A and B are shown apart, each in its own frame.
Chain A
Amino acid sequence: SSRQRVNSELFTLTYGALVTQLCKDYENDEEVNKQLDKMGYNIGVRLIEDFLARSSIGRCQDFRETADVIAKVAFKMYLGITPSVTNWSPAGDELSLILESNPLVDFVELPDNHSSLVYSNLLCGVLRGALEMVQMAVDVKFAQDTLRGDNVTEIRMKFIKRMEENLPAGDEARSLTIMIFD
């Protein structure tokens, strides 16, 4: 529906305005990338609670299930797309999320002097922050980017380790322990 389209355009356009502002504030693309990751992380640590409240997802059995939930539920819910989950490492600790289309880059073209900019880097931070809140340390980065001329956008996600639980008091503890490996 056109109303829904306008809503996601609000996020997309705001994101574009943010990246523009960051490019003004920072000397080089690496700094902008870092800032986007940091901001994404700050969003992720809060978004996870919003997600758990909306989706009533139960405990994930393993990293595979976590990846499926991220692709089929979380991405769908917040960005209206469903990336495919592929390219699993033999150890099952690393995977790719392939985005046929990336709503963040609608109407965006990278100017020539920003070849190192990872435009959608916020997403990496969001995933990292959100998963950290459910005791998973992950490394997330873009492996392919349609903005840089690749055919698809590929996010590579690697499970690093399970983190020690800092048990916060009361309700927080309940919601944070829902998504933990057995």
Chain B
Amino acid sequence: LFVMADEALFQFLHNEVIQYIYKSSEHGEMENGRCITKLENMGFRVGQGLIERFTKDTARFKDELDVMKFICKDFWTCVFKKQIDNLRTNHQGIYVLQDNKFRLLTQLSAGKQYLEHAPKYLAFTCGLVRGGLSNLGVKSIVTAEVSVMPACKFQVMIQKM
């Protein structure tokens, strides 16, 4: 039986996009910020597109938490072939999504010296989540942090519209 490897293809493309965005940029915090923003914006557009095609047949969500559970289960499974491992919320619009083995970090070496590069590998996905939520009618700010590779946390702050 044949196993699709389209996920691998996406990962290669994702890595190459990061290399491209950074290669012509200079070093320095402002430039790094610009690159992160570019990656995040790309992810945003892709996230919007994905949700558009994905939820055509899905019934409406009953509340914000329902939307977040969808992101953690269905959306994450479709994009990363696994669910979010842990979802926490303060019930006041802040959600923390924990992925203990984030697919886009597993290629990166676990050494401490690579930790500074981790944000580059999270930016697109932050945008993906923000874009997906946007098309589900939820406005948000999404950030991410890595403490120990390849585990990472995505923080979603819902913005009241």
Binding site for B on A (CB under 8 A): 2-11, 13-18, 20-21, 35, 39, 42-43, 46-47, 50-51, 54, 76-80, 107
A-B contacts at CB below 8 angstroms, number:
90
Other-chain residue from A2, A16, A46, A76 in contact with B2 (beta carbon distance below 8 A): A76
Name A13's contact: one of B3, B38, B46 (CB within 8 Å): B46
Report B158 CB to chain A, min CB distance, Å. 24
Interface assignment of B17: CB less than 8 Å from any CB of chain A: yes
CB of B53 to closest CB in A, whole Å: 6
Quick check: which of B8-16, B85-93, B111-119, B148-156 contacts chain A, the rest being far away?
B8-16
State whether A39 and B20 are in contact (beta carbons under 8 Å apart), knowing that A18-B42, A47-B9, A79-B6 are contacts in the complex.
Answer: yes
B contacts, CB < 8 Å to A: 2-10, 12-14, 16-17, 19-21, 38, 42, 45-46, 49-50, 53-54, 77-79, 81, 124
Q: Is the interface of B mostly helix, strand, loop or mixed?
A: helix
Asked if A18 and B77 sit within 8 Å, CB to CB, the answer is no
Provide the residues of chain A in CB contact with B16, threshold 8 Å: 39, 42-43
**Bound state CA distance, A134 and B3, in angstroms?**
23
- In the assembled complex, the CB of B155 is this many whole angstroms from the nearest CB of chain A, namely 22
Q: Select from chain B the residue with minimum beta-carbon distance to A12.
A: B49
